[in-house]
Amino acid sequence: MSLKPKTVLIVDDDERRRDSFASALKREFRVLRVGTGEAALTLLTKDAVDLVLLDARLPGISGFELLQIVRENFPLIEVIVTSPDADIDTAVQATKCGAYHYVPNDVPPEQLRGLLRHAGEQQDLNRQVLALSAQVADDGSREFIVGPSRLTRDVIDVVHRVAKLPATVLILGESGTGKELLARLIHRKSENPDAPFIAVNLAAIPRELLESTLFGHEKGAFTGAIRQQLGKFELAAGGTLFLDEIGDLRLDLQAKLLRAIQEDEIERVGGQKPIKTSFRLIAATNVDLEKAVKESKFREDLYYRINVVPIKMPPLRERAEDIPQLAEFFLRRYNTRFRKRIAGITEPTMAMLKKYWWPGNIRELENLIERIVAMNDKEYIGEEDLPLEFHFAQLEPRGQRSDSLFEDATNTFERNFILRALEKCGWNVTATSDYLGVPLSTLKWKMDKLEVRQLARRIRGV
């Protein structure tokens, strides 16, 4: 397990001093060295620099000029200014220009390392603030849409009953059904909606980093742990911790999670004492946890501990009544994002959306609307804008069926096969008959019998 060390750029025209600083820092930091402000600017545009150790008295671009440029163009970089003497005026000027700190050139190595560590921690905090601000700004567009379907209304009823309680919630459902959005809604309806909402996708974190990410670590806990780091449990203190894909959590961490829930305390990696923390846990999974328990892949005690208030998110195909409202919401979102003015979706197109199977659920619907809006400048989204799979969905038997299940299946296969061939041949019927090796009259007869010609005309004007 390792964490990437901070990168320090030493900017000093004295080569011996550059080497001295580098020697003092190289075990704890990645060190870069340049002798002029001009060289520093070139490097800053090419490399990811975290901290700058800057000589105030550079030739050419002065140290304070470079400091001002860094503050304006690289606001997250922390700068420590050095000078040959402990001049109070220089220190004041450095602070006014935005330097993190000022030290004389003969600063002891351990003091310099400590100062850079603190500057790095300040940088991490600034990044967290920016990330949380971006998250708050993004939350407005990550809204749980409450459609008119009975299934959705039942889910919302449960949310209203439990949101203000500290009870643990387990959200179940297929991928793409909006489990995280529901978790955010529960948090917004809670007693303290302004408290942190920390979301963690357990399946997306590398195995070797998962424990440190969740529980944090102490300095020196493992190779590369050059500073203390708070875990997600501590960051969620007083608020909500959302653990997505909890069914993928490995067994040893399941035990630690169980203790955190039961005892309201965690222990950082490398820590010697427990740390008290309090949060509201919402977990989610698309895994059958009961089956996982029987197969010894998930702890039974943890399952019963998180399964306090289960909420089942229905797949989109089971609540087709919600599709128009969801589609219109996504249309407004991507009209704004792409600066388009698509007024709406035609009724026949909406009917096709409602009949589709939606294996990817709401996420698939959103991706479809995003793609269509990005590629179109028409007033309305029409049937011809939908992929072929949506037209195939209309070929399922409607109304009367034949007495033979085999005949129904054969007709469905033939319809799909002919449509694929037409698409491959550019919707040219003559070319398609040659491609399939059947007479043109036979193909036309099949198209009429299977209602392919009418559908093909709607798709591409055949």
Task: Give residue 442's Cα distance to chain centre.
Answer: 52
CATH number for the domain whose boundaries are 405-460: 1.10.10
Q: Where in the chain is the domain with CATH 1.10.8.60?
A: 317-391
User: How far, in Å, are 193, 232, 234, 235, 241 from residue 201 at the CA level?
Assistant: 21, 11, 17, 15, 11
Q: Where in the chain is the domain with CATH 3.40.50.2300?
A: 7-131
DSSP string, 380-431: EE-GGGS-HHHHHHTTS--S---S-HHHHHHHHHHHHHHHHHHHHTTT-HHH
Q: Which fold has domain 154-314?
A: Rossmann fold (3.40.50)
User: What is the per-residue pLDDT across 256-286, written as a single tens digit (0 to 9) for each?
Assistant: 899 888 888 888 888 888 888 889 999 999 9
Collect all residues with Cβ–Cβ distance below 8 Å to 10 and sequence separation of at least 6.
18, 21, 22, 25, 31, 32, 33, 34, 53
Collect all residues with Cβ–Cβ distance below 8 Å to 390 and sequence separation of at least 6.
352, 353, 356
User: What is the per-residue pLDDT across 395-421, written as a single tens digit (0 to 9) for each?
Assistant: 654 444 556 667 766 777 787 788 888
CATH architecture of 7-131: 3-Layer(aba) Sandwich (3.40)
User: What is the per-residue pLDDT across 339-390, written as a single tens digit (0 to 9) for each?
Assistant: 999 999 999 899 999 989 999 999 999 999 999 999 998 899 988 888 878 8
Q: Where in the chain is the domain with CATH 1.10.10?
A: 405-460
Instruction: Of 325, 316, 359, give the one whose Cα is nearest residue 345.
Output: 325
Q: Which residue has the tokens 């050095």?
A: 82
The predicted structure's pLDDT at residue 384: 83
The predicted structure's pLDDT at residue 134: 47
The predicted structure's pLDDT at residue 132: 58
CATH architecture of 317-391: Orthogonal Bundle (1.10)
Task: Please give the Cα distance from 462 to 454 (Å, whole number).
Answer: 8
Task: Give residue 368's Cα distance to chain centre.
Answer: 18
Task: Give residue 148's Cα distance to chain centre.
Answer: 28
SS3 179: helix
The predicted structure's pLDDT at residue 393: 73
The predicted structure's pLDDT at residue 133: 54
Task: Please give the Cα distance from 148 to 393 (Å, whole number).
Answer: 23
Question: Which segments of the chain have a pLDDT < 50?
Answer: 1-2, 134, 137-138, 140, 397-400, 462
Q: Where in the chain is the domain with CATH 3.40.50.300?
A: 154-314
